[in-house]
């Protein structure tokens, strides 16, 4: 009697973050529209706001980390808990970024909770992603130059 050995392949599914194939943002359209309108109102590139939201919450309004909550991870212990809509979250993020009254990289550092300016992974990730989105939307070169370690667009 012959024995037949059957090899049955199986698939291993791994959960990876979902990202649009074309590299565009994966946050909901409602948030993209708010980034565009509020970005125009406050003079902030919408792609910077989209990159910040991607980094902070992947567009999930239910995101929570300690006292930080929402799509922009507003610190409720510092700013209060009345920022309960996407629009209020993005508006507060705009006000905070403008309120720091400094260059965008330093403002992002303060936004992330640094009391003193620190060019770290958070700042680099948000700026790099913002640049990727700008190139996708408006064209241009994806290469990033650096001057003394700072990214220059």
pLDDT digits (tens, 9 = 90+) for 84-132: 999 999 999 999 999 999 999 999 999 999 888 888 999 999 999 999 9
Per-residue exposure over 128-148, b if at least 16 CB sit within 10 Å of its own CB, e if not: ebbbbbbbbeeeeeeeeeeee
**Residues β-bridged to residue 150:** 147
What pTM does this model have?
0.77
Residue 14 pLDDT more than 70? no
Q: What is the DSSP letter of 61?
A: T
pLDDT tops 70 at residue 24: yes
Measured between alpha carbons, how far is 34 from 101 in angstroms, rounded to an integer?
22
Taken in order of first residue, the domains within the chain and their CATH numbers are: 29-152 (1.10.530.10)
* Helix H or strand E encompassing 75: strand 74-75
pLDDT tens digits along 44-64: 999 999 999 999 999 999 999
């Amino acid at each position: 009697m012959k024995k037949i050995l059957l090899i049955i392949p199986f698939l291993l599914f791994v959960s990876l973050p979902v990202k649009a194939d074309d590299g565009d943002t994966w946050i909901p359209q409602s948030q993209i529209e708010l980034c565009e309108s509020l970005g125009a109102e406050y003079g902030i590139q919408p792609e910077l706001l989209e990159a910040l939201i991607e980094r902070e919450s992947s567009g999930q309004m239910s995101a929570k980390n300690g006292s930080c909550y929402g799509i922009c991870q507003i610190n409720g212990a510092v700013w209060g808990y009345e920022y309960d809509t996407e629009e209020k979250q993005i508006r507060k993020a705009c006000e905070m970024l403008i309120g720091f009254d400094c260059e965008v990289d330093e403002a992002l550092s303060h936004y992330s909770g640094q009391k003193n300016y620190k060019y770290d992974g958070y700042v680099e990730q948000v700026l790099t992603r913002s640049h990727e989105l700008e190139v996708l939307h408006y064209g241009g070169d994806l290469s990033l130059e650096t001057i003394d370690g700072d990214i220059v667009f």
